[in-house]
A and B are shown apart, each in its own frame.
Chain A
Amino acid sequence: MKSAEPKRGNNMNKRARNRLIGITAIMLIAIVAIIATVGLRGGTASNVTVKQATSDKKNIGKRIKVGGVVVTGSWDKKTNPMTFKIRDEADSSGTGTQITVIYSGTAPSTFGDGVTAIVTGEFDANNTIKAGEMITKCPSKYESSTGSYTVKDLKARADTMKNIPVKVSGKVKAGTIVAPGGAVRFTVLNATGGTDEINIAFEGALPNGMKDGSTVVLTGELNDTGAFEATNVALEGAK
């Protein structure tokens, strides 16, 4: 490279320095201005739960990012845009207000019943959200059996426990798991032995790895026929 730069005095140096600072300032202002437009142009969304979204009128007409559990059987991957419902994560009985999601994009591979879907889009007055972004979290695969009833206990109290949400744990009876659609999905035995068993009704996705003999923790309630209608099925695990 040539180094035939003319000699320049201190004065010039200062002027160059000021210009440098000036251009830096202009650059920073430009970047701040660009960032400011993000807020105006709908690049942001507030994080809310299904309960917060549906109970606060302020969210109507705004972009929100809401996470909820996909309601069993509420979706059809084949329609476009795809529509499904999500319920609040704490609302295991499914009685609370739900949000209808209209999703225009490819459903992630892991999408399914009972999966936590986090969607972003504009929320309207009918508790509907038009979403263009979705990420999914797998259903909690493992759950501790602490605090759950055994199959034996639950059977013994069947009369008083009807239609009350509870947790129960037991062993999957060999050869009983069938595909969704029927009245009974599988049967669980008392984990510590004995002949007690309960039929489980469940339409959602079973956790990966569940098979004959797996110890499962179920959330749901006993119905009038004595079957257990599960809203969540998890494998027993330390995590």
Chain B
Amino acid sequence: MFVSHLKRSPVRWFVPFALAVSVAMLFLRNRHWIGVWPETAAAAQMPATLLSGLAAAAAAWSVAAPARHGTAEQSLPLVVPRWRRELPGAAAVVAYFVAVSLLGQLVGVVVTARTAPPGFGLWPGYVVMALVVIVLAVAFGHAVGKVLSGRFAAAVAGLAWLIIAMYLGQLLDLSVLDGRVYDQINLLTITVRLLFAVVLLALAILLPPLNLRVGGHIPPGAGEPFALRRLGPAAVVSAATVVLLIAAAGLGSPIEARPEPAAALCQGTKVQVCLWPEHKKYEKDVAEITARIDRLPAFFTIPPRFDEYGLSYRSMSTDATVFYTDRGDRPPYFFILDGSIWSITGTMATEIVARSLTFCADEGASKGEQVDLRAVELQNWLEGYLVGGGQPDYRTNASSERQAAAARGHERANQGSAAVQFAWASELVKGFNSAPCH
């Protein structure tokens, strides 16, 4: 039965479209996921959420097939129980969408595996995450298909699920947008979630059809469409669903903080810059940055170590597994946002400038707007110098004066030799430090 449903399911026409969309969502976006396992898995997981609306619609379409074909009444005296007639249809929809998701993952795996980075163990959690969304969508669509009738059931189920999935996606961490290297998916939690989803699908299959056109009792147009006596079993199934949903929510988020790695990727002499091992692909960029830090003149005070976020400190207490809540005297940390090197040097420049300049000690005192803008200029020059020049890949919403100062700083990093730039910086630091506080 299952194979014949697979062969005849209308979802098969959808597979090429879904595959094209999945691959496009991998490549027609920021491609920093390439070469990092959790990012790869999360990027390939995401299309499942956006396409799950169609999965819900397909499930509703499949369950309403007897009503559409006018065979609902003929199937009433069948000896085969209803659930055994519905199961293969729902399973076929699940199978097609799971296949699309797995093929998308396969594309991601092939692309990332070429550089053979460490951390493949972070991959499976995100795969299961996509499966949870698909099974939940099919369960939802199947249930809607039994309450509403025919063509509208599919359309309504699809649209409603899309809204629900996106909302819950953020609320319950049903899906993720990127696989942050400092997070991991708890395999136990996500597997239990998958089991919950499968049970919900089973409940949707067991739900007695409330709409008699689907159930096949009364021909269309004759009599009332809803059977009150079926509300009892339906209420039981709904109550079980609610209990399950609460239990699943009680499990907590499957996203948790990663423990400290056995060996972080650290490099540099004057300054140690440490990365998560999975971010091996940024090693070369960071080596260039540390080399530039080493060449900085002595009037810059440089912290002994910079850590990638999550290595020695994390501030967000999203769940119980956060291991550092107190910043203490831990090394300053940086993010690699969307794979941008500028987000590394931006943090470093802020830290170094804050330590190298003498600010006003008194509360409320300042050196004046113009002098402060010089500090902004210095900071943005340092940021650009550490990257190796060029134009920043981000935008800020700072005031126009500060943006102009920042642009001057970035421009300075592109002009003249390092020695000329250092001489300029030295003058600026002297000028800033000697400016009076008032």
Is A bound to B?
no
A interface residues, Cβ below 8 angstroms from B:
none
Residues of B within 8 A of A (CB): none
